Chain A
Amino acid sequence: MDEEAGPVVRPYALTRGRAHSSADDMDLIAMVTAVGKTPRDPADIGPEQWRILDITARATSVVDLASELDLALGVVRVLLGDLQDQGLIRVRPPAQVAPLPSERILKEVINGLRAL
């Protein structure tokens, strides 16, 4: 029932009201990886951001992060922007993989789908 009603806390409360960050244009399927550096001031890092650093010990897409944390995409982008500004994560946009994925990858996808 509560889920239907939506979150009790307004979504951007987590970002101290900020709706924008350096990660505004971060693609949905950009891959985020924690670089394993210790934050300069650990007090600057909120609990959700610690979770992000935890999860992205293995490269994780922005969209999987939002789903996993059950946070709105816009909120996740602000949190990621902070981490990016502090040099704690590396973000690889899909453009470095796509726009045009290689023929080899596509053939692999076709075979993989057939085998599902």
Chain B
Amino acid sequence: MAFAPSDEPVALKILVAGGFGVGKTTLVGAISEIRPLRTEEVLSDRGVGVDDVGGVETKTTTTVAMDFGRITIREGLVVYLFGTPGQERFWFMWDELSYGALGAVVIADTRRLTDCFPSIDYFEQRGTPFIVAVNCFDGAERYEPDDVRIALDLDPEVPVLLCDVRRRASAKVVLVTLVEHALKTLTASQR
């Protein structure tokens, strides 16, 4: 008894952010079917002060090879997972990706905690619900979630959890935690 007719599927978008090599693609792959996406982004006039050459379009493109994951919850209800490109030169992709996103998972590596600062800043500023998932790399010292929370100066309501992004069960807990957090944020805003 879906409210949306079956030919009008509902699509939701979840972002997976964090520093380079922190396990974003691994997390997406652990829980969903990964599909390749090519983006040949046109850089002209997305920047500031680009000359208007009237009709002659400057095709300055940059290739961003991205992956995305798809989880079909049921016929007509699909969740898309997008890893946000890590390098700074791809920041222009972030606004596009985060528009209308349900929420974001920020993956943190305790050996390079500062790498996730930009992601956290970004989602805090945009008001996108997010959680921090601390990927427990082999050989990295274990920290308690509360230590990470303090180190990252997170608001008390932001969930922080330890995870192993290679494991499907762990990836599942991460996503459930995010959607529950988004739901809590949603109901709080309606009050």
Tell me the residues in window 27-66 of chain B with beta carbons closer than 8 Å to chain A beta carbons.
Answer: 31, 35-42, 44, 57, 59, 61, 63
Contact size range, B: 35 or more
> For B10, B13, B41, B59, which residue has the most chain A Cβ atoms within 10 angstroms?
B10
- Is there an interface contact between B175 and A66, defined as CB atoms closer than 8 Å? no
Q: Is A88 an interface residue (CB 8 A)?
A: no
Q: Is A105 an interface residue (CB 8 A)?
A: yes
Cβ contacts under 8 Å, B79 to chain A:
109, 113
CA distance A41 to B189 in the complex (A): 50
CA distance A6 to B36 in the complex (A): 13
Of the listed stretches A28-36, A44-52, A79-87, name the one at the interface; the rest are far from the partner chain. Answer: A28-36
Contacts A31-B11, A98-B12 hold; do A72 and B40 have CB atoms under 8 A apart? yes
- Is there an interface contact between B37 and A73, defined as CB atoms closer than 8 Å? yes
Give the A-binding residues of B (Cβ under 8 A): 3-4, 7-13, 31, 35-42, 44, 57, 59, 61, 63, 68, 70-71, 73-74, 77-80, 82, 96-97, 99-100, 102, 168, 172, 175-176, 179-180, 182-183, 186-187, 189
